[in-house]
Amino acid sequence: MRSIPHKAFAMGAITALALAAVSLPATPASARTEAAPQAAAACTPAQAVTNGGFESGTSPWTQSSSTVITSRTGQSAHAGSSYAWLDGVGSTHTDTLSQSVTIPTGCASASLTFWLHIDTAETTTSTAYDKLTAKIGSTTLATYSNLNKNTGYVQKTFDVSSFAGQTVTVAFTGTEDSSLQTSFVLDDIALNTSGDTTPPADSTRTPASPSYTVSLTSNTSGTVWTGHESVTFTNASSTALSEVYLRLWDNYHGTCSAMPITVTNVTGGTAGSLSVSCTALQVSLSSPLAQGQSTTIGFDLGITVPSGADRFGYDGSFVNIGNALPVLAVKDGSGWHLDPYTNNGESFYSLAADFKVTLDHPTSLLVPATGTSTDAAGSSGRTVTTATATKVRDFAWAAGPFTKISGTSPNGVAVNIYSVTGISSSSAQSMLSTAKSAVDAHAGRFGAYPYGELDAVIDNNYWFGGMEYPGFVLDLVSTTALTHEIAHQWWYGIVGDDEYNSPWLDEAFTDYATDLAQGITGTNCWNSVSWASTAEKITNSMAYWDAHSSRYSTVVYTYGKCALHDLRRAIGDTAMTTLLKNYASAHWYGVSTTAEFKAAAQAATSTDLTSFWTTHRIDG
């Protein structure tokens, strides 16, 4: 979203929007019924690994031979004089190193870190002949090979919070094939716990595999919709699920006494308290849901669209209905993600889901929507549009007497442009051409577009520039803006992220993709970087940016994409191209994190990127 920086708008509008971004609607005392947080167990920060630097002999490590933990010549320690040297023989060989550790309960985080150096006599650039596997318990954390050779040591970091309260074995296994040595050298292994809250027993993201079924009927203008929604989901976590939360995002646009989104007559659970300015509804399940079990909740739904050319609003006879369908909040190792709505960006963190949405509306209104749509005759003067979408994070639609033009990209993607009154036919044709070109360009770099058709609603009254939803975007007449919003189909849509806490993972990556599609190399763009404070970082959350809204687009979009251009120059064009395509593939329909991207980038190059992340203020 927000592909056009706020400074492009009138100063009065900017001031009002900045205030709106940090001043949520007042919540009446009667509606403010948030549950008190449970008391957390005390946390004593601890280092669970003993003798991680190997400077105190070999105890309590278990090694496959007496030569694994060593200070002999041929390799060097990261610090001190001793290290662990696995393999390096040049013939069929296996070395192991392990230690049993106990991870205490009551701490918010537990991180396993180690420093790794790999050198090899292998010359291949494509085949992993020799491998090192890092495990905790029965879980494989990572596998490295001769392809990951590097100069010096690189630190590796893994979140192991889900093992809190357990005694598990940290283990490394190195294997070589019959010829050409590869040495896997480890040092300064640590498992640090910290924080003062109790993490859930399982950091798995849940509820998983949601499937939404929705049936709504509109009034004559498409500004009011009523009907029913149900969602079936599975508990993927080993912790029993006794409740879920529905995000009623568009209640931000009203008050708790006059909510645009209403949920009533809940089945499959009991409606509880509304919280976060009435954008989160707790539903207690009829019975706790064990790991692997599924259930369904249902409810009657009412949607009243307010006036305004917004992602949720109507402007004249044209209606946008974004973020209106209640969707399940995500629970992971940090607990439930119940972040506030932000008008400065996005808060819409959700897991990939299936939707079947039936929209009964006047035939005079066209209804572009997420997914693939079919129309059927309804009652007198009405049409029933049925839209189906697979593995999408949200569902949005519009309604109005649009002018529609259609085409197909060279790679076969159906593209529809819906224009409001005042958009010229030449502008619409230009946007159709841009959309067809952009969807194919992004698909060529990151993987085939999976959502069937692509709909774009074009309106020059949008104050926000543009907004992305799966298979459906809102935009100004702008080649750059539309190319940006279509790139979001990959960076947020296919490759998900926690948009509130890590906005750079979709916005910076999308702006970088936009540059690539338009042939912009970003040469010298990092030279214009000027930080406003030591606290300002590309990886800051929307909580920070809502308090520093004038810097949001500059840092997250511009500095973020410039950092990615710099990364491409640091590791090479070919490596960067491969990195992003493989990273998208590895997180296809999943959720990405900054730490995972940094690890993938480091694995793609022999250059130590530690100073790169520091210079570019990319933390995590």
Contact call for residues 326 and 260 (beta carbons, < 8 A): no
Q: How far apart are CA 482 and CA 309, in angstroms?
A: 17
Q: Chain-centre distance of CA 168, in angstroms?
A: 30
Q: Is 167 helix (H, G, I), strand (E, B) or coil?
A: strand
Q: Is 6 annotated as a binding residue?
A: no
Contact call for residues 530 and 555 (beta carbons, < 8 A): no
- Matching residue, tokens 């749509």: 373
Q: Is 442 annotated as a binding residue?
A: no
Alpha helices for 402-551 (secondary structure H): 425-446, 479-487, 504-517, 542-547
Closest CA to 597 of 547, 560, 542, 554: 560
104: cis peptide before it, omega within 30°? no
Q: Is 488 annotated as a binding residue?
A: yes
Question: Rounded to 5 degrees, what are φ and ψ at 293?
Answer: -85, 155
Give the number of other CB atoms < 10 A from CB of residue 125.
Answer: 7
List all residues 6 or more positions away from 570 whose beta carbon is below 8 Å from its beta carbon.
605, 607, 609, 612
By annotation, the residues acting in catalysis are 485, 557
In Å, how far are 173, 235, 495, 552 from 92, measured between CA atoms? 14, 44, 39, 54
Rounded (10°) angle between helices 504-517 and 479-487: 130
Q: What is the 3-state secondary structure (H, E, C) of 255-304?
A: ECCECCEEEEEEECEEEEEEECCCCEEEEEEEEEECCCCEEEEEEEEEEE
Question: Rounded to 5 degrees, what are φ and ψ at 531?
Answer: -75, 140
Vertex 190 angle, CA 185 and 192, to 5°: 160
Q: How far apart are CA 553 and CA 538, in angstroms?
A: 10
Contact call for residues 436 and 487 (beta carbons, < 8 A): no
Q: How far apart are CA 150 and CA 119, in angstroms?
A: 6
CA R_g for the chain:
26
List residues forming the annotated binding site for Zn(2+).
484, 488, 507
List residues forming the annotated binding site.
484, 488, 507
